[in-house]
Amino acid sequence: MSDNHTNTEEKETPSSQDVTGSEQSRGSDDFIHQGGCLCGAIRYQITHRPFDADYCHCSQCQKSSGAVFQAWMDFKVEQVEWIAGKPVEFTSSEHVRRGFCQQCGCTISFRDTRHPGYYTLTIGSLDNPNLIHPNYHIHTANQVSWLNILDTCERYPLDRS
Ligand SMILES: [Zn+2]
Ligand SMILES: [Zn+2]
């Protein structure tokens, strides 16, 4: 079974507007926040706002998190700094690495080896998850039937494309 949290289109969409402006925006934004796992062994700092964020309802995200959906935020890899520890990565499909805390099991990260410039973190691992709200839903075809999310975000039955 393929890991369908993300695909090429999803990760490349924001690059046209965001990649070139990275150096200029650093420091001008003052968006510096921290997060980490449940036990505190892993701590990270983000130095920019994520360029995108989404809800994913796919079965891989459900199984890896133990929750019925996962909320993700997307960064360029250099915008994520590890303060303590680092996630251990599980190879959930050929190209996908899902990172978690070896001690407490907290789901921390997602990356696709085909797109080494990007790094995705769970919004729920932020010390203040209110800071980031997802912009769209993907894999809503797999959304649990009893869940009603009353937002106006775009909804995609599979990947966004
Ligand atoms: Zn997913
Ligand atoms: Zn932990």
Domain of residue 143, CATH code: 2.170.150.70
Does a structural domain hold residue 18?
Answer: no
Does residue 120 register a pLDDT over 70? yes
Phi-psi domain of 87 (left: phi exceeds 0; alpha: psi -120 through 50; beta: other)? beta
Does a structural domain hold residue 141?
Answer: yes
| Amino acid identity for residue 28 in this structure | S
Give the domain range for residue 147.
32-155
Query: Cα(81) to centroid of ligand 2, in Å?
Result: 17
Higher pLDDT, 15 or 103: 103
pLDDT of residue 72: 98
Does residue 129 register a pLDDT over 90? yes
Query: Cα(131) to centroid of ligand 1, in Å?
Result: 21
Looking at all shown ligands, the one closest to residue 37's CA atom is 2
- Name the nearest CA neighbour of 54 among 117, 135, 128, 110: 135
Looking at all shown ligands, the one closest to residue 106's CA atom is 2
Does a structural domain hold residue 2?
Answer: no
Does a structural domain hold residue 40?
Answer: yes
* pLDDT over 90 percentage in the chain: 80
Phi-psi domain of 32 (left: phi exceeds 0; alpha: psi -120 through 50; beta: other)? beta
Query: Cα(82) to centroid of ligand 2, in Å?
Result: 13
User: What is the CB-side half-sphere exposure of residue 72 using CA atoms within 13 A?
Assistant: 30
Does residue 28 register a pLDDT over 80? no
Does a structural domain hold residue 49?
Answer: yes
Q: Which residues have CB less than 5 Å away from ligand 2 (the ion)?
A: 37, 39, 41, 101, 103-104
Does a structural domain hold residue 143?
Answer: yes
Looking at all shown ligands, the one closest to residue 85's CA atom is 2
Task: Tally the domains of the chain.
Answer: 1
pLDDT of residue 30: 86
Query: Cα(63) to centroid of ligand 2, in Å?
Result: 18
Does a structural domain hold residue 45?
Answer: yes
Looking at all shown ligands, the one closest to residue 38's CA atom is 2
H or E stretch at 46: strand 43-46
Does a structural domain hold residue 104?
Answer: yes
